[in-house]
Structure 1
Amino acid sequence: MTARVIIIGAGFGGIAAAIELKRGGHDAVLLLEKGDEVGGVWRDNTYPGAACDVPSPFYSYSFEPHPGWPRRYAGQPQILDYLIKVTDKYDVRRHVRFGAEVVACSWDDASRKWTVRLASGDELECDVLIPALGQLSRPSYPQINGRETFSGPAFHSARWDHDVNLDGKKVAVIGTGASAIQFVPAIQPLVASLTIFQRTPPYIVPRWDAEYGPRHQTLFRRVPQVQAGERLGWFAYLEVATTAFVYSSLLARAFTALARRHTRRQTAAVPGLFEKVWPDYPVGCKRALLSDTYLPALTQRNVQLVTDPIDHIGASGIRTAEGWHEADVIIYGTGFAATDFLVPMDVTGRDGLSLEKAWAEGAHAYFGLTVPGFPNLLIMYGPNTNTGGGSIVYFLETQARYIRAYVDQVASAGSALDLKPEVDAAFDAEIQRRLDDSVWTRCSSWYRAASGRITANWPGLSAEYRRRARFRPDDYLAI
């Protein structure tokens, strides 16, 4: 049979799945994208200084190296341009329906098909459903009293309001995560004052960025093995970093020392600043951040770092436990609702089972992909497939290969596949046992759900995930 496939989302994951399926001869593929262009987070995150924190030779598809990266850590415009070119080169664009926001998906036991309902009211049917929304697509706003009473412009970094002129303004930034450490140095020279509200400091290590000039790019183009070697080198380095966080206390101490030296050097100009920005939790518990410009920005005269808790937000500023801080603009650098997988879609499987109910104690899936009771549903960048130190693109390529093998089986057998509950239970028990002993239990982070269950991260190395995440028909019931 011809398997009709719907992919929800046209970011790195959705594009990878579409390309892999087309390679396997599956052309009845439709990508539903709520935006007006491909790119996912790299289309949406346009804040000043937006860039990847994984080196570009590794933060790209292995089958489509790009010799023209301008820097080791490419910026948002270059990454979006790369995804657009890949989409067009591999004939994915003709499969994309833009402006298509999915609100609900339901499985029909009789027809053994999925019905996908759009915000427009349209309904579409498919044999295999692949949500590729990612973990970092929905901005998270803090629960702070009075947030709605602020009279000036206020926006999340992931929805940057470019109509707001920051020149000469008093700007408040809430949050010091991966986005904030990129946009703070970019806006600091423009503003009259910059007040940064920090709840928990991140570990910051050197970025070691480098420009890829014409000679470098020509070498990559003419001798692709050089860029492949650099990709392999960064893969190995990030696997070592993950080893430090997960397995080796000796390596963890080395990474801690590197971060401490970097932080102390870059904060030396301001007495007491080091103590404010040095973490009190083990390295790796939150994702370590790479920057050579954030800490120096904190030493500038127009910047104030506030570490006492926010009490409330008022019409003209922010009240903390220690005082009042005037603000013309508030920018939320508070991350994403990473543990709310597939929200706000309503997903219903066999016998009317809702995915929300199935995940009442925290999201879980077999290799992050499949869930018992939800036949022919494969989730990209699903539960426990985030990497604490590597490149998510590597994980997404592994998942795309799994999906292709799965769809091959569905098409050849003419039946739907439902994960065996015992397979799911054994896998989840192993993953949670390993996570319970991990560094990620030693602080509060977006890796963990409200229940305390770690739902984001894979507990081992990227290489282990690729080795183990292979489709096996015996893991499934044909229905």
Structure 2
Amino acid sequence: MTIDVNESAGPSDTLVSEAPIRTGTIIIGSGFSGLGMGIALLKDGSDDFLILEKADEVGGTWRDNTYPGAACDVPTHLYSYSFEPRSDWKQLWSMQPEIFDYLRDVAGKYGLRKYLRFGKTANRGYWDEDEMRWHLWTTDGQEYIAQFVVSAIGALHIPSIPELDGIEKFKGKAFHSAQWDHSVDLTGKRVAVIGTGASAIQFVPEIAGKVASLDLYQRTPAWVFPRQNVQIPEGVKRAFTKVPGLRRGFRNGLYWGAEAGAYALNNRPALLKGVEVLGKAFIKRQIDDPVLARKLTPDYRPGCKRLLGSNTYYAALNLPTSDVITEGVVKVTKNGIVAGDGVERPADVIIYGTGFHVTDSFESLSIKGRHGIDMVARFREEGPIAHRGITVADVPNVFFLLGPNTGLGHTSIVFMIESQIRYVAEAMRIVRKKGVDAIVPRAEVQDEYNRDVQRKLSGSVWNTGGCQSWYLDEHGNNRTLWPGYTWRYWLSTRRVRESEFEFLNLVGRPAPAAA
């Protein structure tokens, strides 16, 4: 099949003349998903793969997010690979440097660096139906040809930066929390923070005491609950190492404790009324000014947006040098920001705490599947859907880790990642065992699966809690979160049901399916 590369797969930023690189599997990204997939392939006896990483080091979001106070909001004994536990985590909720070091250590221990190709941003590709192979390009023009493609880019990797009128005139520095400019000394500066997401909850307390003034531009307040990080005593670390089963038991306790929260979020949002009372009481204890307290009190059900924890966020906003502006940003001037109340507030630095592109993150990889189907165009029109959040109809041999409706609002995403990796590895083994070239989900099976997902989400707090969140796509559908307990997802991905798929052979005809 002859296809014009630029017409079918998007323009190239820089063309190179190097010959195509052939490999069995291309993995895109080297965070928890990408590294875990590489390890699974090695354990399966397959070393015919490459990991393409856009940056110069592994780690994904834990490499990129170096803002002050960056930490995990899930206990790290749970937010880590089950096959690579640690006894020596310093805190219950680890800080970014420790998790970043963990991922680098894992990459080294399992010998993954020989398969990594840094500075490679995959952005386009197409499925060759005659060859039964993927042709994939990076932005430097290098072509890769592979049987399988695993997208391990995750959802929290493309910063969402608002288009502010006049920002080009601003004389000071402006940057996103995920692109923190450490060359900027904030001491004594007038700082404007736009956004109140999970990152802002963490970095605002870290900078509030050193800046001359902090103006927080808030569109919607977050539900923030008390959380005091815990230093894990040395004796406990030694016990985790020496006492058989203790570390595993601790991890299991964390897991089932977190799972208990899924019931209210998914099935009985009314039960969260008690959580709301606790949240309002926390605001009352922390904030002196009743006007400020009203600004910081959400008008939606807890859980509708991501639940956050901090013992210091409200205290930082209670400082006399802090102000919360709720009138919105009208424009940026060379010296500051004009809000909806018409007041221009001076600023030396603007920091975006505005999160990431989530429901449209798939647009970073433009690919065409069978019969020239444009996956990005389809997702834009219908919303991103996949079978079990992993495979997509008409897109053979492509597997998404943390794909549509596999995100979580209550526990560790690493659990979901490991479930998906196991599923993908089995799908590849089936292809090899059957002697075929490709596997692709049946469209009717995918559609039925996603109707069931949306039906289950219809009564959840994310759909009924009275807020507009990044969990929802432009059509108002929740294409981000898994509707229920993670152990149910584990059950649903324990094995690949061959009847849900078509198997394709080299000449493109459906291969005989197993009974």
**Identity rate of aligned residues, in percent?**
41
Partner of 1:107: 127
Partner of 2:195: 175
- Between the aligned partners of 2:370 and 2:159, the Cα distance in structure 1 is 31
What TM-score do the two structures reach when normalised by structure 1? 0.97
Matches within 5 A, 1:270-281: 270-281=289-300
Partner of 1:421: 443
- Between the aligned partners of 1:42 and 1:457, the Cα distance in structure 2 is 21
Please identify the structure whose Cα radius of gyration is greater.
2
For 1:456-478, what per-residue CA distance to the aligned partner results, in whole angstroms no more than 9, with x for missing partners?
11111111111112321211101
Within the candidate set 332, 345, 370, 1:325 is matched to 345
The letter of the residue matching 1:379 is F
Partner of 1:382: 403
Matches within 5 A, 1:18-97: 18-97=38-117
Partner of 1:335: 355
Partner of 1:199: 219
The answer to whether the Cα contact below 8 Å between 2:225 and 2:310 also exists between their aligned partners in 1 is yes
SS of equivalent to 1:342: helix
For 1:178-228, what per-residue CA distance to the aligned partner results, in whole angstroms no more than 9, with x for missing partners?
000100011112111111011101111122420013222212222252222
- Between the aligned partners of 2:382 and 2:168, the Cα distance in structure 1 is 31
Within the candidate set 375, 391, 394, 1:370 is matched to 391
The answer to whether the Cα contact below 8 Å between 1:101 and 1:118 also exists between their aligned partners in 2 is yes
The answer to whether the Cα contact below 8 Å between 1:385 and 1:458 also exists between their aligned partners in 2 is yes
What TM-score do the two structures reach when normalised by structure 2? 0.90
SS of equivalent to 1:378: strand
The letter of the residue matching 1:299 is N
The alpha-carbon deviation at position 270 of structure 1 amounts to: 2.9
The alpha-carbon deviation at position 264 of structure 1 amounts to: 2.1
The letter of the residue matching 1:386 is G
- Between the aligned partners of 1:254 and 1:156, the Cα distance in structure 2 is 35
- Between the aligned partners of 2:241 and 2:298, the Cα distance in structure 1 is 42
RMSD: 1.5
- Between the aligned partners of 2:257 and 2:470, the Cα distance in structure 1 is 24
For 1:261-299, what per-residue CA distance to the aligned partner results, in whole angstroms no more than 9, with x for missing partners?
2222222x3333221111101111101001111111111
The alpha-carbon deviation at position 432 of structure 1 amounts to: 1.5
For 1:62-98, what per-residue CA distance to the aligned partner results, in whole angstroms no more than 9, with x for missing partners?
1111111111110110000000111111222221111
The letter of the residue matching 1:100 is K
For 1:141-166, what per-residue CA distance to the aligned partner results, in whole angstroms no more than 9, with x for missing partners?
12332222222100000000111111
- Between the aligned partners of 2:132 and 2:269, the Cα distance in structure 1 is 50
Matches within 5 A, 1:147-166: 147-166=167-186
Q: Does 1:473 align with 2:498?
A: yes
The alpha-carbon deviation at position 3 of structure 1 amounts to: 8.2
Structure 1: runs of 5+ lacking an equivalent: none
The answer to whether the Cα contact below 8 Å between 2:267 and 2:459 also exists between their aligned partners in 1 is no
- Between the aligned partners of 2:170 and 2:296, the Cα distance in structure 1 is 28
The letter of the residue matching 1:307 is T
Structure 2: runs of 5+ lacking an equivalent: 1-21, 505-515
The answer to whether the Cα contact below 8 Å between 2:176 and 2:352 also exists between their aligned partners in 1 is yes
Partner of 2:418: 397
Partner of 1:348: 368
Q: Does 1:433 align with 2:455?
A: yes
Matches within 5 A, 1:2-17: 4-17=24-37
The letter of the residue matching 1:443 is C
Partner of 1:301: 320
How many matched pairs?
477
- Between the aligned partners of 1:173 and 1:41, the Cα distance in structure 2 is 21
- Between the aligned partners of 2:249 and 2:103, the Cα distance in structure 1 is 22
- Between the aligned partners of 2:259 and 2:283, the Cα distance in structure 1 is 23
The letter of the residue matching 1:448 is L
The letter of the residue matching 2:401 is M
